[in-house]
Amino acid sequence: MWTEPLYTAAEMRAAEEAYDGSMLDLMERAGTAVAKSIHRRHPDAASISVWCGTGANGGDGFVIARRLHEAGKAVEIVLAGQEDKVSGDAAENLRRARQLGVPFVGSTRGDVAVDALFGTGFSGKPRDEAARRIQELNALGAPVISVDVPSGVDASTGEAPGPAVRADLTVTFHGRKVGLVVAPGRFHAGEVEVADIGLEPTQTRHAHVNGAILDRIPRRGAEDNKYTAGSVLVIGGSTGKTGAPCLTAESALRAGAGIVTACVPASLNLVFEQRLLEVMTRPCPDEEGVMTMDAADEIIDAAEKATAIAIGPGLGRTDAVGALVGYLLDRLDKPIVLDADGLFAVSDHLDWIFSRDAPTVLTPHAGELARLLGRDSNAVSARRLNAVQTGADDVGAVVLLKGADTLVASGRGVLVCDLGNPGLATAGTGDVLTGIVAAFLAKGMEPKLAAAAAAAAGGAAAGEAAKTHGTAGMIASDVIDAVSPVLSESTRNTF
Host domain of residue 233? 211-488
Burial string for 106-121 (b: 16+ CB within 10 Å, else e) reads eebebbbbbbbbbbbb
Give the distance, in angstroms, between the CA of residue 427 and the centroid of all CA atoms in the same chain.
19
Domain boundary among 152, 173, 204: 204
What's the chain's Rg over C-alpha atoms?
A: 26
pLDDT of residue 491 exceeding 80, the answer is no
Q: Beta-carbon neighbour count of residue 1 at 10 Å?
A: 8
Encode pLDDT of 6-35 as tens digits: 999 999 999 999 999 999 999 999 999 999
308-365 per-position pLDDT tens digit: 999 999 999 999 999 999 999 999 999 999 999 999 999 999 999 999 999 999 999 9
What is the model's pLDDT at position 492? 45
Instruction: Transcribe 355-374 into DSSP letters.
Output: T-SS-EEE---HHHHHHHHT
Domain-located, residue 405: yes
Tens of pLDDT, residue by residue over 430-477, are: 999 999 999 999 999 999 999 999 999 999 999 999 999 999 999 999
Say which CATH number the domain at 109 has: 3.40.50.10260
DSSP 422: G
* In a shared domain, residues 180 and 236: no
What are the DSSP calls for 158-216, one per residue? ---SS-----SEEEEESS-BGGGTSTTTHHHH-EEEEE--SPPP---SEEEE-GGGGGG
Q: Is 276 helix (H, G, I), strand (E, B) or coil?
A: coil
* Domain count across the chain: 2
**Does residue 495 belong to any structural domain of this protein?**
no
Q: Is 494 among the domain residues? A: no
Give the DSSP letter string of 27-54: HHHHHHHHHHHHHHH-TT-SEEEEEE-S
In a domain, 469, yes or no: yes
Q: Is residue 447 part of a domain?
A: yes
CA distances from 266 to 241, 299, 312 (A): 14, 12, 16
**Of residues 491 and 360, more confidently modeled:** 360
Tell me, yes or no, whether 337 and 440 share the same domain. Answer: yes
* pLDDT tier for residue 479 given thresholds of 50, 70 and 90: very high
pLDDT at residue number 490: 56
Distance CA(145)–CA(168), nearest Å, equals 6
pLDDT-derived band at 384 (thresholds 50, 70, 90) equals very high
- Both 147 and 269 in one domain: the answer is no
Do 278 and 375 lie in a common domain? yes
Report percent pLDDT > 70 for the chain: 99
Query: pLDDT of 199-255, one tens digit each?
Result: 999 999 999 999 999 999 999 888 888 989 999 999 999 999 999 999 999 999 999
Considering the domain architecture, whether residues 438 and 306 belong to the same structural domain is answered as yes
User: Residue 392 falls within a domain, yes or no?
Assistant: yes
pLDDT at 171: 98
Query: Which of 162, 177, 204 is the endpoint of a domain?
Result: 204
Q: How many Cβ atoms sit within 10 Å of the Cβ of residue 40?
A: 9
Model pTM score: 0.94
Same domain as 234, residue 366: yes
Tell me, yes or no, whether 356 and 465 share the same domain: yes
In the prediction, which pLDDT does 221 show? Answer: 87
CATH code at position 332: 3.40.1190.20
Residues 220 and 84 in one domain: no
Q: What is the mean pLDDT of the chain?
A: 95
Say whether both 245 and 297 belong to one domain. Answer: yes
Residue 32 included in any domain? yes
Query: Which of residues 204, 239, 263 is at a domain's end?
Result: 204
Domain identity same for 248 and 177: no
Whether residues 302 and 162 fall in one domain: no
Q: Round to whole Å and give the CA distance between 491 and 218.
A: 8
pLDDT of residue 495: 34
pLDDT band at 107 (very low <50, low <70, confident <90, very high): confident
State yes or no: pLDDT of 295 exceeds 70: yes
Cα–Cα distance, 289 to 87 (Å, whole number): 70
Residues 162 and 279 in one domain: no
* 378-405 mean pLDDT: 95
